[in-house]
Amino acid sequence: MARIPYVDMEQLSPEFQPLLKENYSAFRALAHSPEICRAFRNVVFTLKGTQLTPRLRELAMLRVGWLTQCHYEWFHHVKTGMENGVSEQDIRILMEDTPAAYARLDEAARLTVTATEQMYAGPAASAEVVAALDRLLGTKSLVELLVAIGFYIGTVRILSTLDLDLEPQYEEFLTRFPLKST
């Protein structure tokens, strides 16, 4: 049960009602501050439209979700990841959570997971990992990846604190790809 009430579309002025068209719990909670919700939503959808390959973006988001055991983040990105090139094997590798498992990932995926872990643990991804990602992805995609990782590390802190309810379309993944904490 969410720690704050959700906002319904009719509670917003017409200018802000489009923020809730997807009916996600995250946007409905953040809509208590429509301006913040709009900015947050814009970043989410901007990150989805970058040059960075969707698979790498989703692997990073999944790694953040697994590291934090954030229920909302993990299950959203299991579904979104599978729709964007992340395989069931990729997800199982992240769940296995061992260096031996990560060795089965391709180089770009392995470096993405490593950068995510390093940024999560703080304070930064190593120079070696950044250089390798820059060589593989190009500087534009590298920047997009680092911003996505940083944004979602912050995002899970908000989502976990709000203890948001998972929408029904994600529930099929609860038993298929369970978190350690569930």
- Domain for residue 89, yes or no? yes
pLDDT for 17 beyond 70: yes
Q: Which helix (H) or strand (E) holds 94?
A: helix 88-96
Nearest to 70 by CA among 137, 3, 166, 136: 166
> What is the mean pLDDT of the segment spanning 123-127?
97
Answer yes or no: is 146 within a domain. Answer: yes
Q: What is the pLDDT of residue 181?
A: 72
Query: Does pLDDT of 37 surpass 90?
Result: yes
Percent residues over pLDDT 90 in the chain: 98
The confidence score (pLDDT) of residue 182 equals: 58
Global pTM value? 0.95
For residue 136, the domain's CATH number is 1.20.1290.10
> Which domain range does residue 80 map to?
48-173
Percent of the chain's residues with pLDDT above 70: 99
- 140 inside domain: yes
> Any idea what DSSP says for residue 70?
-
Q: Answer yes or no: is 103 within a domain.
A: yes
Q: What are the pLDDT digits (tens) for 70-109?
A: 999 999 999 999 999 999 999 999 999 999 999 999 999 9
Count the domains in the chain: 1
Q: Do 89 and 81 touch, CB atoms closer than 8 A?
A: no
Task: For residues 126-139, give the mean pLDDT.
Answer: 98
Q: 73 φ, ψ to 5°?
A: -65, -50
